[in-house]
Structure 1
């Protein structure tokens, strides 16, 4: 990868901010109402304060949950939290693409911050709708892109906004890129790396498993990645979770299993299963995977083979992306074993990736709240948002409009 992963990307830190400028801040506040783990919010606070203190009018767009599975909800809890940590009112406006939202943005006062509604309440957000991105762009004239956890997403409020307005990388995005740069694959990366890929998002298979195979000495599929690999190998996985895009993930898993190379892929001989509808209430049962998972049961955990734990503990560089087991449901065997091995690597040589991973597991070493975005950056040395920002070049991108004249408060 390039020596400077931020080369050609305009940085918000380098741009003077003028009173009355109308900014859209594209954030990644994917945090539940319980506010368990606020790192994704806290990372944006300094830039929001700087814009507001300079007299800019800041419209914040963020997502939470997903429209696809009905988990997207409104964000007043985020506005309340921002009001506390910024020590100034942050108003919540539940709409973001309506005429009323546009009028609300136009009436904002200098220094005001308004959090608009959850972008994922629209089906077009995750589909990257150009029309929806155009509606979002009416909220301001300039874009600050934060939320590294969504940097791999070509969504309407992410890369889509940059088709309409000039953009700058917020401090949180730039800081994560600089932090992860030494871990990225490339000539400078040491050989002998290891990775544990868990959780349930498809990028753990499509980007992580497919991209790291052949580059690392050891890959340990876990979570939905493990279920997918086992099924691709021909094992009966019963009612185990196969996540989103199961067919595409299965094809990627089969390709990895068939490819020659130095990478050893750990596949357990023993998995732990529970009834699929009672994984948090019924103790897990050990099953030899060669016999198959019983009907109606799901893999919730597994036993990591001793040879893999030894390789993991000796790896010069190790990644854990996604919780290995159904940890919050009480199934901790694989997760605990992996964490013990990672604690044996040299200080600073093990890295945890993903908001759920860092929230669920006890870990004091290096970590990134980006899961899929971090994997994409580590594999490719870039991400969807970074490429869109390079093309934006702070205003020269085709289709961007000049800032509108400042409106009076009336």
Structure 2
């Protein structure tokens, strides 16, 4: 897919850029408690300022469902954004109408304004054409820098892009380039890691990936379901036994398409999930008691996975290999993450990861900064991996 970026935008001086950002940040007591999403937007904002454009930021916060909810105002974002940007940021009490028009018109070249929560208007989530037209009145060009919201066909993510010259912002560009390098046009061989608790929530993902990857490692509770489907004793482990037929079908599809599935060959079991719990490592297939729970992949499984990484050029990762939040059941995830990070740092592997649990696991392992790219986009990242079209991205195609 080719898409328009800010490098394709000409003569921005004096023009107003409507920039869709993701400022749905953690807040507590009216204060921003984690500013990663603000930092991510800075390169786009600064690039537009340097080009002499006025920058009007569009964003949502929480789920006000078309109502004006005081506790869901974006106003608390202004002060931390000013600090990060090192420049004044104005605030408008609405994102459309006279209030917004007057505030945007009052900006100097290079000025920045944050408009109030677009979801205060019901037309946003309905992708209402009239609401999109009201937004479009405020600007000359549209920039989408919120990949995390690109899977939603909303007025500020898709409708507006159809009304103004539309471009991908710097964060969006990096995300799309990384995902293209991981799944679109990857260096082969390609290995995937998919973990997490349930096969049912990642069915589309698995079915898409087995047709695109050379190897696919399955971990977490999902692996228990696949082991169960093969007749392996999983004791009292978390598994979706009603998904056994589906798991077998996925294994058959993988075999037919030449994708090697890597399931655990040994596992770490314990009677309870608590920090420092007594554990033992057993071969997959050994008899387990009804109290035994498989909570992590074993060292042989990790060794096989890291060897598969060594033989690959590209890795795409979504989901942990065990209950990483509760040591010692983080061992497999941490070991795999550290190995992937080393390969990525040395230029031997393009390693792209994403999804909430995955990002948390990589931070836990201390490897997030060493991967080629880590997406914080959550649902949009997952839908991209599932092979689904993202409305906000489709609207940016050149």
* 1:325-382: CA deviation from partner (whole Å, max 9, x where unpaired): 3434433122122124425647230413126425444222312325564566577597
Which of residues 188, 191, 194 is equivalent to 1:194? 191
Residues 335/66 of structure 1: CA separation in 2 closer, same or farther (3 Å cut): farther
Aligned counterpart, 1:83? 82
**Alignment pair present for 1:12 and 2:6:** yes
Residues 84/50 of structure 1: CA separation in 2 closer, same or farther (3 Å cut): same
* 1:258-299: CA deviation from partner (whole Å, max 9, x where unpaired): 313332323335255676xxx56683756977678968x986
Quick one: distance in 2 between partners of 1:152 and 1:251?
A: 30
**Alignment pair present for 1:221 and 2:225:** no
1:59 partner SS? strand
Residues 323/270 of structure 1: CA separation in 2 closer, same or farther (3 Å cut): closer
Structure 2 unaligned spans of 5+:
66-70
1:327 partner SS? coil
Residues 189/144 of structure 1: CA separation in 2 closer, same or farther (3 Å cut): same
**Alignment pair present for 1:362 and 2:366:** yes
Q: Does structure 2 conserve the Cα–Cα contact (< 8 Å) formed by 1:227 and 1:237?
A: no
Quick one: distance in 1 between partners of 2:97 and 2:73?
A: 18
* 1:371-408: CA deviation from partner (whole Å, max 9, x where unpaired): 56456657759754332222xx6xxxxxxxxxxxxxxx
* 1:51-98: CA deviation from partner (whole Å, max 9, x where unpaired): 45625250321456998xxxx9655554332111112233456765xx
Larger radius of gyration: 2
Quick one: distance in 2 between partners of 1:300 and 1:74?
A: 41
Quick one: distance in 2 between partners of 1:208 and 1:154?
A: 21
* TM-score scaled by length of structure 2: 0.70
CA root-mean-square deviation: 4.5
**Alignment pair present for 1:46 and 2:46:** no
Quick one: distance in 2 between partners of 1:253 and 1:48?
A: 46
Residues 151/202 of structure 1: CA separation in 2 closer, same or farther (3 Å cut): farther
The number of equivalent residue pairs is: 362
Q: Of the two structures, which has the highest relative contact order with CA contacts closer than 8 Å and spacing of 6 or more?
A: 1
Quick one: distance in 1 between partners of 2:121 and 2:271?
A: 36
Q: Does structure 1 conserve the Cα–Cα contact (< 8 Å) formed by 2:123 and 2:131?
A: no
* 1:12-61: CA deviation from partner (whole Å, max 9, x where unpaired): 3332224363x4311234542465572x4323213223445625250321
Q: Does structure 2 conserve the Cα–Cα contact (< 8 Å) formed by 1:60 and 1:114?
A: no
Aligned counterpart, 2:101? 106
**Alignment pair present for 1:265 and 2:261:** yes
Residues 134/199 of structure 1: CA separation in 2 closer, same or farther (3 Å cut): farther
Residues 344/165 of structure 1: CA separation in 2 closer, same or farther (3 Å cut): closer
* Superposed displacement of residue 175, structure 1: 3.1
Which of residues 131, 135, 138 is equivalent to 1:135? 131
Structure 1 unaligned spans of 5+:
394-410
Aligned counterpart, 2:68? none
Aligned counterpart, 2:393? 386
* 1:77-126: CA deviation from partner (whole Å, max 9, x where unpaired): 54332111112233456765xxxx5443122121453334556788986x
Quick one: distance in 2 between partners of 1:88 and 1:345?
A: 39
Question: By percentage of residues, which structure has more helix?
Answer: 2
Quick one: distance in 2 between partners of 1:388 and 1:284?
A: 53
Quick one: distance in 1 between partners of 2:197 and 2:123?
A: 23
* TM-score scaled by length of structure 1: 0.68
